[in-house]
């Protein structure tokens, strides 16, 4: 008996040893360092220690940055990045690139070469094969469709510059340092490319930004929706989302993920509380309360000349306060007021004065304006490059946050995973850019700042210098035959060429070209046309203004037609030997586009300068165009409901008789109807 027990124990020990070795082998395989990884967070914080204390933060790495994962401590990966720098990042936002690719044959699946050739025959670039074969071997029901584009990735990313933002403190990623809000900045082309290169998202947890939302509209279940909402605010509205999906024939997982992405899962989010005006004091542009209105998808939520806050404008859209003059009615007292019930053809069942109407109406907007107009993936809703989109390329883009399709696609993936639906017959529409490089795009963590901070002529700084303005005309008061040009860069890591001493030509001019090269190699070229002015030929501001063909009253400059370009007015000044710069009503430099009422122009003569506030004829509200809102403001002034003052009064006085009357109203109306050019 003892011998039997001993043999049993030996056998048990042997089995245990085998099991232990198998377990260790599995662990070692999972933790087989080092391996190639890629960051998947929008701006993943790198720490110098294996913790997340803010004081240990070193830098931020944008989505798509290649890293080498060398170890793990808790939930932090130790990584090497930028060739030889080391740090720690959250393990939740790093993908194992090596594990996400496959070129060896899988049993029961067609060979890699055969599958790759079939992908190429559909229009895919060969560089897609290793990613899609890996996914195909795991999910044979998934179908991948290539949308072959007429743009190179470089051309597409250049178009997106100035249209997309990223929440990042890494100044190496910023485009001209243009700050939006909440640490959001416009970002440079190299960073945009890392998000737009489809190959950076051909992994199981990232590919759902390419999901065909139209063909997948019937793939859903309660567990999937519950995964998105959790115990948040949206958990109260399952019936409404499911009703919306049936009513407008749209994927319920898509619209709930969109609503969650936009903040509606938080019960205190201003767009869905119904008490926005009570909480914030902010009303519509016409002064009406925004209480009682809802916007679950932030449709129409962006700032403009009438709205300083995105939610504020979105609720004005939800209420119908952005609609035409048909909404203005005369009440029983003979006064004009806004009535949404009288608005003609308010789209998408607005006003959205209940959560249900907002959820269903907003879903109809997304379905009709995006999914059924060729923007039927999250990627195409963000980057409108689809070959079958109904809209002009690079326009009609739902969100400005560049990480939105990755983030929202991740929510959809997790929802389908929770619903045990990943083996469904999904179709993914994946863009293929022209002449794709075999290497995937990575953000460059080097400064792209190629701006100057100042330009000096003979030791005197150009007074109206602006880093984003690259062309200048400068009148140099001197009797010398040469002039010294100096420049300073904003970034100490940038260099500038073209400075030095220049001789005037026989006609007393010289053209100087300054080239600034940033750390990452990007360049900005500044051009300064210098005109020699001997002291006896000094120019006054009045000399310049008197030849401009405008009207001036004190500090107001008016008599300017709508649509007049900034550059046109500036050239008028410089052609009369003055210098000029323009800022908008927020005192931010304005070098392009149409002038708007409220803009300010600084005009410099030889020894003086003056600032004028611009009043564009008919543009009363200062948005740079003559539209129905200007008519309403003039109408209110005439009816003594809201008086126009300052530059607005000059903009409304279209016939220049010193007052705003019915004749001005008629002229503005004629401009709107295309019967008159003010």
Fold of 32-99: SH3 type barrels. (2.30.30)
What's the pLDDT score for residue 30?
Answer: 52
Fold of 446-537: Immunoglobulin-like (2.60.40)
Closest by Cα among 437, 442, 490, 434 to 467: 490
- Could you give the 3-state DSSP secondary structure of residue 101? coil
pLDDT for the residue numbered 13: 37
Largest CA distance in the chain: 123
CA 385 vs CA 379, 439, 499: distances in Å: 9, 21, 42
| Closest C-alpha to 123, from 146, 142, 143, 104 | 146
Query: Nearest Cα to 185, choosing from 203, 207, 161, 201?
Result: 161
Q: According to the model, what pLDDT value does residue 536 have?
A: 66
The pLDDT assigned to 38 comes to: 97
Assess whether the previous peptide bond of 391 is cis (omega < 30° from 0): no
Task: Please give the pLDDT value at position 308.
Answer: 86
**pLDDT given at position 470:** 92
pLDDT along the chain (678 residues), means of 10: 42 38 36 92 94 86 96 95 93 96 95 98 98 98 98 96 91 80 85 97 98 95 95 94 94 95 94 96 92 96 86 94 80 78 84 96 96 96 96 90 95 97 98 96 88 92 85 88 95 94 94 94 93 79 90 93 92 87 89 93 86 95 91 90 91 92 90 86
Q: Look up residue 137 and give its two tokens.
A: 């071997």
If you count them, how many residues does the chain have? 678
Contacts of 226-231 spanning 24+ positions with Cβ under 8 A? 226/418, 227/414, 227/415, 227/417, 227/418, 227/419, 228/253, 228/256, 228/257, 228/260, 228/265, 228/411, 228/414, 228/415, 229/256, 229/260, 229/265, 230/265
Q: Do 660 and 646 form a contact (C-beta atoms < 8 A)?
A: no
What pLDDT does 318 receive?
Answer: 95
- If one looks up domain 540-678 in CATH, what number appears? 1.10.1330.10
Q: Give the span between the Cα atoms of 195 and 209, in whole angstroms.
A: 11
User: In the chain, what are the domain boundaries?
Assistant: 1-30, 32-99, 101-212+377-444, 221-370, 446-537, 540-678
* Cα dihedral value 195, 200, 202, 205, nearest 10: -70
Entry pTM: 0.69
């Amino acid at each position: 008996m003892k011998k039997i027990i001993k043999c049993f124990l030996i056998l048990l020990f042997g089995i245990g040893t085998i099991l232990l070795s198998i377990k260790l082998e599995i662990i070692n395989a999972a933790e087989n360092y080092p391996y190639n990884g890629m960051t998947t967070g929008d701006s993943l914080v790198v720490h110098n220690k294996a913790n997340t204390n803010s004081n240990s933060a070193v830098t931020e790495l944008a989505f798509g940055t290649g890293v080498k994962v060398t170890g793990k401590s808790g939930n932090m990966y130790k990584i090497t990045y930028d060739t030889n720098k080391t740090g720690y990042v959250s393990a939740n936002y790093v993908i194992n690139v090596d594990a996400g690719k496959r070129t060896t044959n899988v049993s029961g699946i067609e060979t890699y070469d055969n599958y790759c050739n079939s992908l190429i025959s559909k229009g895919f670039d060969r560089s897609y094969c290793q990613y899609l074969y890996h996914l195909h071997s795991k999910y044979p029901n998934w179908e991948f469709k290539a949308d072959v584009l007429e743009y190179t990735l470089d051309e597409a990313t250049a178009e997106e510059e100035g249209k997309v933002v990223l929440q990042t403190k890494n100044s190496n990623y910023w485009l001209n340092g243009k700050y939006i809000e909440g640490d959001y900045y416009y970002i440079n082309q190299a960073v945009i490319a890392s998000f737009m290169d489809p190959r950076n998202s051909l992994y199981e947890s990232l590919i759902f930004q390419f999901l065909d939302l139209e063909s997948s509209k019937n793939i859903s279940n309660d567990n999937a929706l519950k995964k998105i909402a959790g115990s948040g605010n949206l958990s109260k509205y399952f019936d409404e989302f499911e009703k919306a999906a049936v009513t407008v024939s749209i994927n319920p997982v898509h619209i709930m993920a969109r609503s969650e992405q936009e903040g509606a899962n938080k019960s205190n989010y201003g767009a869905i509380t119904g008490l926005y005006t009570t909480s914030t004091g902010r009303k519509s542009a016409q002064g009406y309360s925004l209480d009682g209105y809802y916007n679950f998808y932030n449709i129409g939520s962006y700032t403009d000349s009438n709205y300083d806050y995105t939610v504020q404008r979105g609720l004005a859209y939800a209420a119908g306060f952005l609609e035409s003059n048909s909404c203005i009615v005369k009440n029983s007292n003979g006064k004009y007021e806004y009535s949404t019930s009288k608005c003609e053809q308010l789209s998408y069942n607005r006003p959205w004065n209940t959560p249900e109407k907002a959820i269903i109406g907003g879903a109809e907007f997304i379905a009709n304006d995006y999914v059924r107009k060729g923007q039927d993936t999250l990627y195409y809703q963000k980057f409108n490059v689809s070959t079958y989109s109904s809209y002009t390329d690079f326009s009609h883009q739902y969100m400005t946050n560049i990480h939105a399709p990755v983030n929202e696609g991740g929510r959809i993936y997790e929802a389908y995973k929770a619903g045990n639906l990943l083996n469904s017959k999904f179709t993914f529409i994946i863009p293929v850019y022209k002449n794709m490089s075999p290497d995937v795009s990575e953000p460059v963590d080097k400064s792209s700042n190629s701006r100057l901070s100042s330009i000096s002529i003979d030791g005197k700084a150009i007074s109206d210098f602006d880093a984003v303005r690259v062309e200048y005309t400068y009148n140099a008061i001197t009797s010398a035959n040469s002039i010294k040009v100096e420049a300073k860069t904003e970034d100490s890591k940038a260099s500038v060429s073209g400075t030095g001493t220049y001789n005037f030509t026989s006609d007393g001019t010289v053209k100087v070209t300054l080239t600034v090269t940033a750390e990452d190699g990007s360049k900005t070229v500044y051009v300064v046309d210098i005109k020699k002015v001997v002291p006896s030929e000094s120019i006054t501001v009045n000399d310049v203004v008197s030849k401009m063909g405008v009207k001036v009253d004190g500090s107001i400059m008016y008599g300017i037609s709508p649509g007049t370009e900034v550059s046109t007015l500036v050239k008028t000044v410089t052609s009369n030997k003055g210098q000029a710069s323009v800022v908008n009503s927020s005192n931010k430099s304005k070098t392009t586009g149409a002038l708007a009422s409220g803009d300010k122009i600084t005009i410099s003569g030889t020894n003086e300068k003056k600032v004028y506030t611009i009043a564009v004829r008919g543009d009363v509200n200062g948005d740079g165009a003559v539209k129905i809102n200007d008519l309403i403001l003039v109408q209110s002034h005439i009816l003594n409901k809201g008086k126009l003052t300052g530059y607005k009064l000059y903009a409304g006085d279209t016939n220049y008789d010193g007052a705003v009357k019915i004749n001005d109203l008629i002229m503005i109306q004629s401009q709107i109807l295309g019967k008159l050019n003010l």
